[in-house]
Amino acid sequence: MATNTTTTLSNQYQNYFSKKLLSYAVQALVLDQFAEKAPLPAKSGHKAISMFRFGAPSTSAIEALTEGTAPSGTRSLTLSKIEKTLTQRGQVIELTDILTATDLFNSLQQSMKTNGEDAALDMDTITRNTVVGSNVGGTAMEGGYAADMSTKLDNEDTLVELYADGTKETTAATQYTAFEATTGAGTLLDAAAVLNAVTQLKVNRSQPASGGMYVAAASPQVISDIMVDTTWVNAAQYSNVQDLYKGEVGSLYGAKFIMTTNPFISGDANGTDADRVIYDASGGGGTAATNDVHASLFLGQQSYGCPDLSSQSPFSPKVIISDQPDKSDPLNQKLTAGFKTFWTTLRLNPNYYVVMRSKTASTA
């Protein structure tokens, strides 16, 4: 006698379909909050953003005065202009009319969210590359070195580049390969390296970003290295009396550490010093001779600038939805959601920030 089971009558069963969407990884992007912001006015007759800087204090024109005699000379003012052309950026997500009419999840709403997150990541990456001096992708957009270091930075900049072992990059650019060949704990960011970076900023007369402290934007791996230091202070220990930056995790020796999941990481693709401006997407950890090098940014005020996204300029970022028929889509079978913006980043004063390179003990 046959027995009916869930197997013999399996066609009546179906998988339970949960409408709950799983979350996905979202980048922790922090560099925008430390930029000097400039508005994008309409009808200005220019597609570039310009900022200006007067010369530093000097005693060269000061002289001893003789009673009743006018000084023999006068102090001259100098004004530097830093400018960079904005680049229009954008992307489009295309959806069919059938999808938008029948989808269980709101694909259009997710398209708008995805566009916003992608735009933020793109602009943060451009800022990161510009500050580090990298010409990622071989374009002039980031205003960085060429891969072979033959092209100068825009504005004739010279970056301040330090290494966790106490060495410093020079004009000859020979320190990176030596540092990468170094192994062990001496390549990690420690309290001595942090103090070295902060001291360099003070020597350069860089003004602290907030509360008398500088800002250090670093990867989670590098921050895990420095957090084991006994003098490290977690942000929770002082957050009741100080405003915290987005992503702030703690402080050490006059620097507030901000975690970014979009750091600049370099490797040894060519075995030359130019590798320090070539991004390595793998971003592996470890302190062996072939392991990647993380760039942490120690920032003072007015280190770099970017457009003010909160301004009412027509160039500000916009999400645009197109759902009307036209000659390319006469039956209105497609809907598009996209964004566009004008963006650039300028290095305002490279002496006001330090690029600190280190390896990491983390294998994450």
The predicted-structure confidence for 167-223, as pLDDT tens digits, reads as follows 998 766 788 889 988 998 899 999 999 999 999 999 999 999 877 899 999 999 999
What's the pLDDT score for residue 301?
93
Whether 139 has a pLDDT exceeding 50, the answer reads no
Counting residues of the chain whose pLDDT is more than 90, the rounded percentage is 26
Q: Is pLDDT larger for residue 219 or for residue 54?
A: 219
Q: Is pLDDT larger for residue 242 or for residue 289?
A: 289
What's the pLDDT score for residue 25?
62
* Residue 210: strand, helix, or coil: strand
Highest mean pLDDT among 8-17, 72-81, 135-144: 72-81
pTM: 0.84
Task: Name the pLDDT band for 140 (thresholds 50, 70, 90).
Answer: very low
What's the pLDDT score for residue 86?
82
Residues near 345 by beta carbon (within 8 Å), at least 6 away in sequence: 35, 84, 126, 127, 130, 131, 142, 143, 304, 305, 306
Task: Name the pLDDT band for 141 (thresholds 50, 70, 90).
Answer: very low
- DSSP states of 101-145: HH-SS-HHHHHHHHHHHHHHHHHHHHHHHHHHT--GGG-STT---
Cα–Cα distance, 192 to 196 (Å, whole number): 6
What's the pLDDT score for residue 313?
63
Among 63-72, 214-223, 314-323, name the one with the lowest average pLDDT. 314-323
Cα–Cα distance, 59 to 304 (Å, whole number): 27
What's the pLDDT score for residue 198?
95
